[in-house]
Amino acid sequence: MALIVQKYGGTSVGTVERIQNVARRVAKTFDEGNEVIVIVSAMAGETNRLVALANEISDMPDEREYDVLVSTGEQVTIALLSMCLKSMGYKAKSYLGSQIPMLTDKAYSRARIEEIGDKNIRADLQAGTIVVVAGFQGIDSDGNITTLGRGGSDTSAVAVAAALKADVCEIYTDVDGVYTTDPRIVPEARKIDKISYEEMLEMASLGAKILQIRSVEFAKKYNVVVHVRSSFDDSQGTLVMKEDQEMETVLVSGVTFNKDEAKISIFGVPDQPGVASQIFSPLGLNNITVDMIIQNISHQGATDITFTVPKTDCKKALQIIEGVAKDINARGVSHNTNIAKVSIVGVGMRSHTGVATTMFDTLAREGINIEMISTSEIKVSCVISDKYTELAVRILHEAFGLDRQAQEA
Amino acid sequence: MALIVQKYGGTSVGTVERIQNVARRVAKTFDEGNEVIVIVSAMAGETNRLVALANEISDMPDEREYDVLVSTGEQVTIALLSMCLKSMGYKAKSYLGSQIPMLTDKAYSRARIEEIGDKNIRADLQAGTIVVVAGFQGIDSDGNITTLGRGGSDTSAVAVAAALKADVCEIYTDVDGVYTTDPRIVPEARKIDKISYEEMLEMASLGAKILQIRSVEFAKKYNVVVHVRSSFDDSQGTLVMKEDQEMETVLVSGVTFNKDEAKISIFGVPDQPGVASQIFSPLGLNNITVDMIIQNISHQGATDITFTVPKTDCKKALQIIEGVAKDINARGVSHNTNIAKVSIVGVGMRSHTGVATTMFDTLAREGINIEMISTSEIKVSCVISDKYTELAVRILHEAFGLDRQAQEA
């Protein structure tokens, strides 16, 4: 007998009919002799409906009350799914964040989980009850409702799996796993059978939006095996788990890309201590996330600094940086929104050389100019002109043999 | 400084615009130097929407989960109203049943309030915060969500007013008070300025659907002054309060009617001990509420028993009674759905004679036949043919001078 946590997103529970499908799948897992905890999101569209109500009242609705409002979405789903399971003859019980309890800090609408009680749920599981948990929501130490931020249900699921020491946390979604790259661009993209937490983190933050980054961090911290799979069929998906030897034999696990960033350069920055801080502090204060930063060696006491920001923040960032450039006597500022970041990710890179070179060579062979480079232990990213994005992804996917690797043992 | 509890029903909070109106009224009361607790219902239509979802899943949805589901309606309203007050610059905080806490028994969807914590709310009031409470919902001793049944928000409001020792509990509704009778039938009907709990109970249970009966019982038990008034203007409404001498000088406070009942008679019932129980037990077991029961003196060892039931239950009741009639060797069963019950209510009756006689005389004068009579200390009810309902109400309203009484001191 295994303890299985299953998480179903908003699309999977978007109608009563779909909730009934989820109930059948949950019941099947239970009938196979497992203990089951189900985490669900709000029905698709419901959170947007609630947010629209709040925005009718204020552009900046009160944060505490915002969480009271939007958490009703998941509450509706757990009630309906539990009803459904009961009408099918199963014992089932819904749990709000406050009933688990799922204790968080007090940061409304982006709360972090601090502690999860396992006593109540454990007792229900032992009594043969299917436990249905509202994702996304928690409670702070004063009994206020908190929420974990958009997509927080993934994190709820992994956190509950960690607290209850579940054997696996199955995340049901509308794709059947994690792919070596976007199959819409490269039809030869393959489903990855196993991927390490680190790789998944790099893939997710680089634009593969299958799992919330925070949920992967949580899974890594507590060593929870996450199974990303399709809610529409029974096929095996992708296991996100601790790195093993098998994974290391693969140099590159996936190719990702991101077209949502813009590049800003400051020329002729006086090369003196404190300059970088003068540039980036005001961006941070304005909640602008800076991704890549490149500063090269200086000539004649001046250097150039280039960095990327989300395209949506480009205008605001430019205004700030033009002011800063004057203050520090830099020569000028330029920007470019027609860029893309292409990355290769793989834990195998750690123990193999030449991976970055293969990437640069491959791009060069097609005449694709590299504008910026950034690397981590298990990732190499290049900024290129965005018109070459699809071409770059295709040739890199092929160059690292991702279309023909057999990952299985 | 007074502590004022205000309750707004589903129509008053049916749209964001109406919620903004409620916020303005609440803010005005606060600005006048009062402490304010607001109790709200779900936005009009919301509860029906949720119930429809449940019914898509099952005709008999699980009771625990049903309460989890429908209680989200009030949760949405308290969040929106609190947001609204905050955006207007007031301190405001929403309270779920579990956060008060509003402790109830475990009878899902018809829970009874057992205890109300006042500590949390009191602290907020002292800090100058407007407290916004979800009506209709509570929590049992195991932390399960319960609801008080349809219309339960009135009861929530009165209960909170009792627990916090509020000076008044204002119930805002779409009428501006309690009238001597239905103004659609008698244009001369007057708004009653003050009415006793007992009279209000009789009026409510007899068909004047302004206040939930349970809330009046609660108000009576804890001596809470209830002010029924309109959410559309500032006029004084009706105070429901402890009987005073002034009220006793009025013989009849109101005339009510009910067309929703049917009459069933059993003829030739053997006059022996236990027969009444044999007739009415199976009705009770089938959840059929019997209102009036008439049994007259017997002739030759047999008697006739007549009673009324809700029209919607008439068919079911007939089936049961026809079976019983055979078992007890009664002579036969008849029924009539074309009846109406007309009643006069007033605490003054207690100390005055001749009130019933005036009623009978008045009806007789217009040739209206009385089919059944039932009396209590402060009420006389007559069952008549339903085609005379409006006529009967009009002439009784006039006969007791309700169109010209001045109730004020």
C-alpha span between B309 and B213 (Å, rounded): 19
- What digits encode the pLDDT tens for the residues B395-405? 999 999 998 75
User: For residue B131, is pLDDT > 80?
Assistant: yes
Note the pLDDT of residue A353.
81
> Residue B1's pLDDT band (boundaries 50, 70, 90)?
confident
- What digits encode the pLDDT tens for the residues B245-303? 888 888 899 999 999 999 999 999 988 888 888 999 999 998 898 989 988 777 888 88
Which residues lie closer than 8 Å to B177 by C-beta, 6 or more apart? B191, B192, B228, B229, B230, B236, B237, B238
- What digits encode the pLDDT tens for the residues A230-247? 988 889 999 999 998 888
Considering CB atoms only, which of A69, A87, A145 is closest to B80? A69
- What digits encode the pLDDT tens for the residues B75-108? 999 999 999 999 999 999 999 999 999 999 999 9
Tell me the mean pLDDT in the region A261-282.
90
Mean pLDDT rounded to a whole number for chain B: 92
In a mutagenesis test of the B interface, which of A22, A51, A69, A142 is the best target, namely the one with the most B β-carbons within 10 Å? A69
**H/E element holding B23?**
helix B16-31
C-alpha span between A263 and A315 (Å, rounded): 11
Note the pLDDT of residue A118.
95
Residues of B in contact with A82 (CB under 8 A): 62, 64-65, 68
CA atoms lying within 13 Å on the CB side of residue A145? 31
DSSP assignment string, B216-277:
HHHHHHHT--EEEEESSS----EEEE---HHHHT-S--EEEEE-SEEEEEEEEEE--TTHHH
Note the pLDDT of residue A405.
56
Token pair listed for A397 = 């996917």
SS3 content of chain B, % helix, strand, coil (to 5): 35, 25, 35
Q: Kind of pairing, strands A3-8 and A35-40? A: parallel
| Planar angle of CA A39, A41, A46, nearest 5 degrees | 160
**Closest Cα to residue A131, out of A156, A103, A105?**
A156
Q: Do B72 and A68 touch (CB under 8 A)?
A: no
CATH of domain B3-173: 3.40.1160.10
Q: Do B86 and A62 touch (CB under 8 A)?
A: yes
B351 or A150, which is more confident?
Answer: B351
Note the pLDDT of residue B409.
34
**Closest Cα to residue B186, out of B407, B342, B398, B366?**
B398
**Closest Cα to residue B268, out of B335, B325, B337?**
B325
Chain A: which residues have CB within 8 Å of chain B? Answer: 16, 19-20, 50, 53-54, 56-58, 60-62, 64-66, 68-69, 71-72, 75-76, 78-80, 82-84, 86-87, 93-94, 96, 98-99, 143, 145
- What digits encode the pLDDT tens for the residues A275-315? 888 999 999 998 898 989 988 777 888 889 999 999 999 99
Note the pLDDT of residue A407.
45
- What digits encode the pLDDT tens for the residues A86-142? 999 999 999 999 999 999 999 999 999 999 999 999 999 999 999 999 999 999 999
Note the pLDDT of residue A77.
98
- Angle subtended by helix axes A389-399 and A355-365, to nearest 10: 130
**Closest Cα to residue A31, out of A91, A113, A117?**
A91
> Residue A148's pLDDT band (boundaries 50, 70, 90)?
very high
User: For residue A206, is pLDDT > 70?
Assistant: no
How many other CB atoms are found less than 10 A from the CB of residue B87?
Answer: 18
Token pair listed for A67 = 């969480």
Which residues lie closer than 8 Å to A103 by C-beta, 6 or more apart? A113, A114, A115, A116, A117, A138, A139, A140, A141
Question: Any idea where the domains of chain A sit in the sequence?
Answer: 3-173
